[in-house]
Every structure is written in C-alpha cells, then in structure tokens.
Structure 1
C-alpha cells in the first residue's frame, strides 16, 4: 500500500481515470440532463428547462456513482489520492457560478444555455490535471467557444445551447471511456 507521499501525480491521475472511466458516467449523465432540459424547454417552457438543468445537475454525482458501480467500477479512489479533493472542489464551482447565470437571465433569458455552457466548459479545464487527459481541454474549448458564439452570433433558439452541450458531453463521455479502456488493455497485455 502506498503512503500519501509516494503516490505520484501520474499514479493519482491513472487511478482517477480508471476509477471513473475517463469521466464517462458523469459526462453521460450530464449530457442526458442537458438534453432533457432542452426537450422540456421546447415542449413545455424555457423556465422549466432551466429548472431541470439546475436541479438535475444535483443528481450528477450520485447517478455517476450508481452507473459506475453497475458497470463494476469502484467509483472511488484510495485515501492517498490527493486529486479526490480537487475533484470535489471543481464540482462546487458550477452551482456557485450559476448565481451569475441567474443574474444574466434577469436581463436576457436567451443567454441561459450559452452562459451555462461557458461555466461548465471552464469547469472542465482542471479536469485536464484531474484525469491527466488532454481531451478535457478540447471539450472545455468547444463549450466555451460555442457558448460565447451563441451569445454574440447565435440564432434566437432558446434550447440550441442545451442541445449542443448534451451532444458534446455524450460524445466526449464515449471518447474518454475508450481512451481508458485502451489504456487498460495495453496495461493488461504488458505493452
């Protein structure tokens, strides 16, 4: 068993990647919540879509844990892994920044999804270090750029940002999953 001082950053990142399958379940759940919020925005009302996204986001971590356990993953890391605290801190940045989204929609309701995209995109930047996976930089850039573009140049379609974000999150969930599965296969085959 490693003591806290002997776990390298690379070891901690590897443990995070494998325990959480490259962020697969969390991004899949998030993507589905964004898509659900988009559907509700279109077929019921934008206000209900906003509520679904905000309160649905509270379920991401428990649903992530459930999915990973069903898949046979431990869904946790060792006590020696100092990155666990970073992951917890990152998670709390989104609801705190949603206070800003609340202020924004008082002026422009159409900016709800784009503003949320920018916040969620920025929250993915530390995932590069958390998981040791550069793909999170690409995901962050896509969300930030898309959200910003929708604010300044987007069509007047309230739910568009929600659809885009749901799509990006689900695609990157499967990309991250495949990266980790490939890495595990290489490690198991001794390559």
Structure 2
C-alpha cells in the first residue's frame, strides 16, 4: 500500500478528523467550564482526565455514527495513530509537574502540547489543515501564557471553541475532497 492510499484510509475512517476535533473541543469546553464554575485545580483535572478519554469518546462517536471506527488490523498507519494519541497525556503530565501553583499557565501550556501533537497529523491524514490547527494552538497558547495573571479558563474556552470550529472546517474539506473527481485529485 502506498502512503497516499494509507492516508486516504485514515481520512475516510476518521471522517477527516471531524469527530476527533468535535470531541476534543467538547472536552476543552467542559474543562474550561469546570475551571470557571468549580475551581482552577478541578479544571486541570477535568482536562487531564478528559484528555485521556478523547480517543475512547471519539471511537464511540464514530461507532454511533455508523462509520468504521478503526483502521483495519495491520494497516500501516495504525501504529502511528496510536503513538500520536499517547503523546498528549504524557505531555500534560509534564505541564502539571511544572506549573506548581500557577494554574493560569495550565491551559496555555496544554494548548502548546496539544498543538504540537497535531503536527504529525499532517502526515497521518495527508492534510495540511492540521498544520494550521497546530500553528493556531501553539501561537494561541504562547499568547495566553504571556498575559499577566490572566483569567485562567480563557485559554480553555478559546481552544475549545477553536477545536469545535475546526471540526467543521475539516468536515467541509471532506466534502470538497468528495466533490473533486479522483482523476483531478491524483494530479
């Protein structure tokens, strides 16, 4: 199997990333809500625990939609997809260890970690749009971190909304891809 076909399988199986970004956005918005209305520390826990569940919740959403929910056994991109998924919880552990009482830095630092995790999606999906998402998250995370004593959940709310919006950008890109004749898409 060539790389282009493998990437097309990933796009088809995971709906161009639509469900993953929608679930991720919902997790970020829920964590921001917890940080806003419960406590900043609870918001940290909500994003960390919710982040661990993103792959499972995305798989559930794919199953409920009636779509294929995983790549076939032995697919050449399956290992890469799994490896990418594990980078975020490990990165968030580092963020949690380093913020030490500066909870206002958790969401911005997490934006940078999660944004960086989207860079390999460019290859996995064969979609440059993921580089745009990665860049927006990384730049946004750095910008939020520069605020003096920022309102802690602001970065969580902003990133959650970005991810939800981006889910629909990815869905639109899927519709465009389906409307382009395969002979033109190959050239």
Q: What is the TM-score with the length of structure 1 in the denominator?
A: 0.90
Assess if the C-alpha contact under 8 Å between 1:117 and 1:165 holds in 2.
Answer: yes
Residues 45 and 107 (structure 1 numbering): CA distance in 2 closer, same or farther, change over 3 Å? closer
Q: Which residue of 1 aligns with 2:62?
A: 68
TM-superposed deviation, 1:151: 1.1
Q: Which residue of 1 aligns with 2:17?
A: 23
- State the distance in 2 between where 1:85 and 1:158 align: 35
- State the distance in 1 between where 2:16 and 2:163 align: 12
Q: Which residue of 2 aligns with 1:152?
A: 146
TM-superposed deviation, 1:107: 4.8
TM-superposed deviation, 1:104: 2.2
Assess if the C-alpha contact under 8 Å between 2:104 and 2:149 holds in 1.
Answer: no
Q: Which residue of 2 aligns with 1:132?
A: 126
Aligned pairs for 1:26-45 (under 5 A) are 26-45=20-39
1:10 equivalent to 2:4? Answer yes
Q: Which residue of 1 aligns with 2:99?
A: 105
Please list every run of at least 4 consecutive aligned residues from structure 1 whose deviation after the TM superposition is greater than 3 angstroms.
Answer: 185-188
- State the distance in 2 between where 1:186 and 1:80 align: 29
User: How many correspondences in the alignment?
Assistant: 185
> Higher mean Cα deviation, 72-81 or 49-58?
72-81
After superposition, the C-alpha distances for 1:114-134 in whole angstroms (9 at most, x for unaligned) are 000000000000000000011
Helix, strand or coil at the partner of 1:75: coil
Assess if the C-alpha contact under 8 Å between 1:113 and 1:158 holds in 2.
Answer: yes
Q: Which residue of 1 aligns with 2:108?
A: 114
TM-superposed deviation, 1:153: 3.3
Assess if the C-alpha contact under 8 Å between 1:23 and 1:176 holds in 2.
Answer: yes
Q: What is the TM-score with the length of structure 2 in the denominator?
A: 0.92
After superposition, the C-alpha distances for 1:129-160 in whole angstroms (9 at most, x for unaligned) are 00001110000000000101111236611001
Note the residue ranges of structure 2 that are not aligned, 5 or more in a row: none
C-alpha root-mean-square deviation of aligned residues, in Å?
1.9
